[in-house]
A and B are shown apart, each in its own frame.
Chain A
Amino acid sequence: MRLYSVLVSALIAGSLSRAAERFESAALVDSLDFAAEKNKAGDFLFDTETAAGNRAVLEHVLLTGANTILWRNCVGGTMRYQSEETRLPWVESPLDKRRLPDSRPVYGWLRYYQSEPDILRDMLGVCREKGLRAGVHWPFEETHWHSWTIGPWNFEHPQFWGVTAAGQVWPGRCSLAYPEVVAHKLRLVDELLARGTDHLFIDVWRTGGWSPRDEFVQPEMERWRQRFGTEPPADGADPRWCAFVSETTHAYFNAVRRRLDGSGRKVRLMVGILEADIISDKPDATLLTRGVDWRRLVCEGVIDTLVVMGVKWDTSRPFESTREIYRSVLAACGGRCEVLFPVSMYDFTKKGVPGYSQALKRAPGKVAGELLKLAWEEGADGICMECVDYRNYSQEACAEMRAALNGPCRFKRGTR
């Protein structure tokens, strides 16, 4: 009788916890996106170097219905908090004369790395106080297309810079093939943990232009020669080379996983991929252009959540093809990790909400709500909103998404 009661209680508890699973709406938030916003009178709306300014940014982002906030921690290798690992001096141009300064008003003069209070610590705390899931959006980049984004640690260690097959070094981009670089990145992970992140989202869409083409560094070359007894392929886009490089990035993600687990608390590791398509045996874009084998990461349980940043849908069948790709990705994941699909107003690939809107001839706000529902219907664990800024998620889009998130999509499908 006692055993029976325990079993029943466990079943009820299980079903209750299952029923309590909220459908996730994760927002990627970048202070910089709000830094120069003005009202009609010409006054700045957000002073993002202040606590009040970033709280105002958060309030704006929450209009989307987001229940997870992933705050951007860096631009390139320059951290946007008081990092010891990438500390002054010389994190700023012109004090470091190798960094060409950004001259734009406001943007070019921000110094998030010394703002008081520490932006990341403060905002993660604010998010938790509001009952939100609080985490960090960490691009897999070390340069963000400008020399002023190169981190001081990277500048200090040219011996670890990436190299092309032709022998051209990439100033400022360090290779994960060097243990010292991995150790540096893990110290950055420690800084994020110390600031209270509960969710670490590593976004491999944003690599700042890096790809396996830049990994012809000595340790990788030697590893190839030892394994195959030949010189590495001259073409950095060769699938064999990309798969080979992915072993190094895989080891890095494993190291991050262990570091998170070693923190003594449950910290979710999320990884973002690009151009999701029908899953086949062929190497996908994430493997070929980012040297990251996401399927292996999922299969081995290295990551908790797969975030699909972009979908290669068919313009003649936007939603139908999207559905097919979602099903394919979910099947490939096989329930081994959570999966978030995009509702992205950011349209760099022309496959975001504006792209659907154009193909379907429907208002973007409507499309945003429909995409959210589509992800929910297909059994996703949530959605991800890339680069939520002051303008891109319109009032209509926010209303549509909030209505869905507070209504039919409040909980994950099948969990009520």
Chain B
Amino acid sequence: MRDSVTGMKRLFASVCVLCGLALGGCAGWGVHAPEGGWACRCGRIVPVTRGTGNDTEAAWSPDGTRIAFQTDREGDLDIAVADLASGAVTPLVAGEGQACYPAWTPDGAVVYAFGRHEGTATQAAAAKADCGYGLRLWKPGGGRVLTQGYWRDYTPSVTAAGDAVYYASTCGEAGDGVALWRMGLSPGVAGERLLRLDGDAGGMVQPSLSPDGRILLWAQLNNFRQNWRLCAALKTNLSDSVFLTPPEMGAYAPRWSPDGGRVAFTGFRRGDPGWGVYLLEPRSGALSRLETGAGNSRSPAWSPDGTELVFENNRTGSCKLYRTRVSCGGKPAARTKTEESRVDARLVRKEGAAELVSGNGTHVAGAVAPGQEALSFDRPGGLDFGAGSFFVRLTLTVSAREGGARIAAVGHYAEHAMGWQVYLSDEHRIWFHARDPKGVFIGAESDAPVALGRPVQVLGIRDADGTVRLYVDGKPQKRRGAGATLVYGPALKLCLGQQWNGGMRLNGRVTDFACGRGYPAGVPQLMTRERLFEEVAP
């Protein structure tokens, strides 16, 4: 009996292996249904490299005949090139040290990262050694060092024009930060930092410019508990970026297709068997996972004609390179229309009374707290902001500093008694906060304590992607929040100058109040996917 069970297990395993091999030939879209009717499939999976060692970070040459990659066949990393016609692999950069992340220039040279660590970290620090990872240029007959220092420059990409390289760098960073840099490829040109994240726990890696040269794309990690996400921005305004992949998905190593219409990247979503090659249609956000067979598949790179991908896969126990044809079909879902702004509720004061007038014309009388400037409105209309962006705008005058938090405005919802608030902290700074779906506080803080004895204009914005922003007297404040994506149903109460339960009263007065969906006039919207790609549409 035991033997027959074992035999059945073996048979089952064999069938599974055969099925796996058949699927390895590439087929559908796996556990996630195609989105918006758009789906991509790959063709036969063809090995590019074989043998021992790990071959990774492939880059297809501009003429389509070769693939450069990094390999640890000889121990530390070297750069090698596979000739696609003959299958021959030849070293490009070998010897001691780690040579990695090859990127072709249009004229057939290769930019790569190189680091060589001799001795210990203590010895290097004591000697003030220049031993980080820097960028180098290889070309037939010679090359040169582009950058070098006690930092890490890596994941370079060369512009289509071949005039500059974009890369990730820790230069000037004190913690775990990694910033985006650019450097012209003319001799003697220094690199410049383009963008860094606030704080020292987040970073941006593997930047590349779109083929039309207008959009920069990279992978971003905001902190260690969040996923890597793809991010993009206009080259001319990198600080106004937009995420292209959802927060619940791990996504990194993006590469533009040659026509700029697709992005290939490494991704993982809950339910996937492991890391896989994903395709993104950036204008719609549609995603499609390629079924590349067993093992983790990563770091895809396009052929120059955009018909094939090369990627690494560890199905054999070590990473090897494979290539496959890719075709996409169907139409991505229509883009959603950019949100329009509108005021949905505003405060009207008349002869000692106050009412909240909603956009549909309903009036809710305010209850005035005895002897106080505080107001409350039961079941006010116009505060059901839903999942999209909304704003809260008010004018407050604070007469004097008082200890403890003081409320300027608070929306009380079934979802959370303090669904959003504008308040003064113990340090007398202004906060605007909203909530994430679990009710966690996510806020933006003013750069300085609130001015006393004069009207102060406060504007809080929750963007559709969960970003929380604050403007004081028209000026954007530095500290923002992220992830406040609570869906707001009808409000149970609105309070001005006090907490929903009457506590934490403001030592001052809220004179004007308005709120609504979208953005108030004159406030720059955060970049959205739709705007980003509309602006570059021909």
Q: What is A's interface to B at a CB cutoff of 8 Å? A: 35-36, 43-44, 46-50, 53, 88-89, 93-95, 97-98, 100-111, 115, 143, 145-150, 156-159, 163, 165-172, 209
CB-CB under 8 A from A168, the residues of chain B are: 247-248
Inter-chain CA distance A102–B247, complex, in Å, is 24
User: Which 4 A-B residue pairs are closest in the complex by CB-CB distance?
Assistant: A109-B121, A49-B120, A94-B154, A47-B122
Contact A103 B170 (CB under 8 A): yes
Contact A97 B122 (CB under 8 A): no
Contact A97 B120 (CB under 8 A): no
Contact A150 B224 (CB under 8 A): yes
Q: What is B's interface to A at a CB cutoff of 8 Å? A: 54, 72, 77, 98, 100-101, 113, 117, 120-126, 133, 150-152, 154-155, 168, 170, 173-178, 201-203, 205-206, 219, 221, 224-228, 247-248, 250, 252-253, 268, 270, 272-275, 296, 314, 437-438
- With A95-B100, A97-B252, A109-B117 as contacts: A169 and B125 at CB distance below 8 Å: no
CB-CB under 8 A from B152, the residues of chain A are: 93-94, 101, 103
Pairs A–B under 8 Å by Cβ, sample size 28: A35-B121, A44-B122, A47-B123, A48-B122, A49-B121, A89-B54, A93-B152, A94-B113, A94-B155, A97-B206, A98-B228, A100-B202, A103-B170, A103-B173, A105-B125, A105-B150, A109-B121, A109-B124, A146-B224, A147-B203, A147-B221, A156-B275, A156-B296, A158-B268, A165-B438, A166-B438, A167-B248, A169-B268
Interface centre among B77, B120, B154 (most CB of A within 10 A): B120
Inter-chain CA distance A105–B151, complex, in Å, is 9
CB-CB under 8 A from A110, the residues of chain B are: 120-121
CB-CB under 8 A from A111, the residues of chain B are: 117, 121
Inter-chain CA distance A106–B225, complex, in Å, is 25
CB-CB under 8 A from A48, the residues of chain B are: 122
* B contact patch SS: loop
- How close is A109's CB to chain B, nearest CB, in angstroms? 4
Inter-chain CA distance A67–B201, complex, in Å, is 38
- With A158-B274, A172-B224 as contacts: A102 and B175 at CB distance below 8 Å: yes
- With A146-B224, A147-B224, A159-B274 as contacts: A97 and B123 at CB distance below 8 Å: no
Inter-chain CA distance A410–B124, complex, in Å, is 44
Contact A167 B270 (CB under 8 A): yes
User: Which of B122, B176, B272 is A148 in contact with, Cβ under 8 Å?
Assistant: B176
- With A48-B122, A109-B121 as contacts: A169 and B170 at CB distance below 8 Å: no
Interface centre among A35, A89, A105 (most CB of B within 10 A): A89
* A contact patch SS: loop
Inter-chain CA distance A104–B174, complex, in Å, is 6
- How close is B155's CB to chain A, nearest CB, in angstroms? 6
By beta carbon, the residue of chain A nearest B151 is A103
Inter-chain CA distance A108–B168, complex, in Å, is 17
By beta carbon, the residue of chain A nearest B113 is A94
Inter-chain CA distance A209–B223, complex, in Å, is 13
Contact A171 B275 (CB under 8 A): no
Contact A147 B176 (CB under 8 A): yes
CB-CB under 8 A from A44, the residues of chain B are: 122, 125-126
> With contacts A94-B155, A168-B247, A172-B224 known, what are 8 further pairs, Cβ within 8 A?
A44-B122, A44-B126, A101-B152, A101-B170, A103-B173, A105-B150, A170-B225, A171-B226
Contact B176 A146 (CB under 8 A): yes
- How close is A159's CB to chain B, nearest CB, in angstroms? 6
Contact B228 A171 (CB under 8 A): yes
CB-CB under 8 A from B98, the residues of chain A are: 95
User: Which of A53, A93, A143 is B122 in contact with, Cβ under 8 Å?
Assistant: A53
Inter-chain CA distance A169–B267, complex, in Å, is 13
- How close is B32's CB to chain A, nearest CB, in angstroms? 14
User: Which of B154, B155, B270 is A163 in contact with, Cβ under 8 Å?
Assistant: B270
Inter-chain CA distance A167–B429, complex, in Å, is 34
By beta carbon, the residue of chain B nearest A114 is B117
Contact A102 B176 (CB under 8 A): yes
Interface centre among B101, B219, B250, B252 (most CB of A within 10 A): B250
User: Which of B122, B154, B174, B274 is A49 in contact with, Cβ under 8 Å?
Assistant: B122
User: Which of A50, A143, A169 is B270 in contact with, Cβ under 8 Å?
Assistant: A169
